[in-house]
Chain A
Amino acid sequence: MKAIVKYISSIFSALKTLFKGMAVTGHYISHPKEIITQQYPENRETLKMFDMFRGEVVLTHSESNEHRCTGCSACEVACPNGTIEIINKRIEMPDGKKKKVIDKFVYHLSMCTFCNLCILSCPTDAIKMSQDFEHAVFDRSQLTKVLNKPASKLMEGVR
């Protein structure tokens, strides 16, 4: 007797779960506004990548061409595949002291796996991931980028 009740109830529970699944897909097909496909080359002007997207590493510069990178090389150490090279130089301050600042922040896009470890390791939040994803170039050398803009200098108060 117990087996028969179990048999019949299993049929109804199976039907219930089937309808539950069909309700999910039914919701999808009846809500075409939720479609996530992007018509990429056509909507290039309006396409906005989501916030978490990891396009490439950029060094943020303020309007007065100042960045926050102190040249501590934490990102260079954190990078698992040698994508970042920091070349430092020593400049003489007005008060006669010598100070270490970055000369070149070299970033090899061709080696980057977009793992985000460099951004997490940065103590001064100098670098971030941009949403730019059109990286195709005709020459490999163009993938090696110097991230700090010419004549940019360290922002006041960042140490």
Chain B
Amino acid sequence: MNIYDFKSLTDSIHTSLSVNLSPSAVTIIEFIIIAFAFMMLFTLLGLILVYAERKIAAFFQLRLGPMRVGKWGIAQTAADAIKLILKEPLVTKNADKFLFNLAPFIIILSTFMALGAMPFAKGLHALDFDIGILYLTAVSSLGVIGILIAGWSSDNKYSLIGAMRSGAQVVSYELSVGLSLLTVVVLAGSLQFSEIIASQEAGWWIFRGHIPALIAFTIFMIAGTAETNRGPFDLPEAESELTAGFHTEYSGLKFAFFFLAEFVNMFIIAGIGATVFLGGWMPFHIGNWEGFNRIMDFIPSLFWFFGKVAFLIFLMMWFKWTFPRLRIDQLLRLEWKYLLPINLVNILFMAFIVLMGWHF
């Protein structure tokens, strides 16, 4: 396989920096470069995903979406971002000021930490832990602390109700996300992202893992959508009941942080799904079709990853704009009576298949 490896680029940057700088200075400069890259990615993702969401939502409802700012409304999200930056950051009178200001940063922090462990392309991988999946699931659920703090410190009953709902939701759906990912870990035999991707060179796990992988993928998509507080599971924000849930009292840039974090969380969930089930940056290969596989290899790994992520994000948007919002008891019933038992049986089934060597 001759896919371009970003390791050559990063190595060349490293060696050129090491020529006349001390190792600690090189590390600091590399940290700054990576931090800058992730900040750029974060902003770009926010802008693009908000625009995509508004456009796709509109097309699902036979509307056109934003059309006025720029051709096809392309500059709409940039204009919105400028508006949000210029707005006054209001604080409620009896709010717990310190926690109120801290909450958006905790949420942003958790999304950044999760983004750091994403394998974007071959060799383009900031943090390749040997416990990658465990780290990502742990970190991506840290955001709920920020949500709880935001709801608690806002001094607003709607915020608190939204935050409490969010807590119940994330704690229960975390189980399903973890277990459905474990199903593939059983197959791949590793928690490290680079190894999970390498194990999918012969074919993506969703195709090779028979029915259990398909069930795990379905459960992951449902639980992942729930974990990002999106789609039919958006009852922490539930516009029609709680105005905006936990971020009711936030305005300006702090509101933008919550808003951006929600969309980047969606990207992270889609990224995990793409990496674990759809082969990450691995191109699509079919058995012995040499010519076809060669053509697929010509598409850069970066495009493969972002294409798969875009597909999964589109799927999540499809859920959101099709299904009505669940009630809190329906939400918990779905998790504890359906997803969790199915998941436990499914992981046993998968372990049995791996033990007997029945997978491809």
Binding site for B on A (CB under 8 A): 11, 18, 21-22, 24-26, 28-29, 32, 34-37, 39
Contacts and interface: CB of A to CB of B under 8 A. Distances in A.
12 contacts: A11-B342, A18-B323, A21-B322, A25-B60, A25-B318, A26-B318, A28-B60, A28-B61, A35-B59, A35-B63, A36-B62, A36-B63
The winner among A26, A35, A36 for most chain B CB atoms within 10 A is A35
A28 to B, nearest CB: 5
Interface residue SS majority, chain A: helix
Contacts of B342: 11
B38 interface: no
A22 B59 contact: no
Nearest to A30: B59
Given A21-B323, A29-B59, A39 B318 contact: no
A127 B342 CA distance: 66
Contacts of B318: 22, 25-26, 29
Contact of A37 (B56, B64, B322, B323): B64
Contacts of A25: 60, 318, 321-322
Interface in B159-200: none
A34 B60 CA distance: 11
B129 interface: no
A4 B322 CA distance: 29
Contacts, number: 36
B60 A39 contact: no
A34 B61 CA distance: 10
Contacts of B338: 11
A83 B346 CA distance: 70
Kindly list the 8 A-B residue pairs having the minimum CB-CB distance in the complex, ordered from nearest: A37-B64, A25-B322, A29-B59, A25-B60, A21-B322, A37-B63, A22-B322, A35-B62
The winner among A22, A25, A36, A37 for most chain B CB atoms within 10 A is A25
Nearest to A29: B59
B301 to A, nearest CB: 29
Given A25-B321, A34-B62, A37-B58, 18 more contacts: A18-B323, A21-B323, A22-B318, A22-B319, A22-B322, A25-B60, A25-B318, A25-B322, A28-B59, A28-B61, A29-B59, A29-B318, A35-B64, A37-B62, A37-B63, A37-B64, A39-B64, A39-B67
B59 A32 contact: yes
Contacts of A26: 318
B245 to A, nearest CB: 24
A29 B321 CA distance: 11
Nearest to A8: B342
A34 B64 CA distance: 11
Contacts of A18: 323
A24 B64 contact: no
B64 A29 contact: no
B59 A24 contact: no
A14 B153 CA distance: 39
Contacts of A22: 318-319, 322
Interface in B302-360: 318-319, 321-323, 338, 342
Nearest to B65: A37
Contacts of A39: 64, 67
Contacts of B64: 35, 37, 39
Interface string B32-69: 00000000000000000000000010111111100100
Nearest to A26: B318
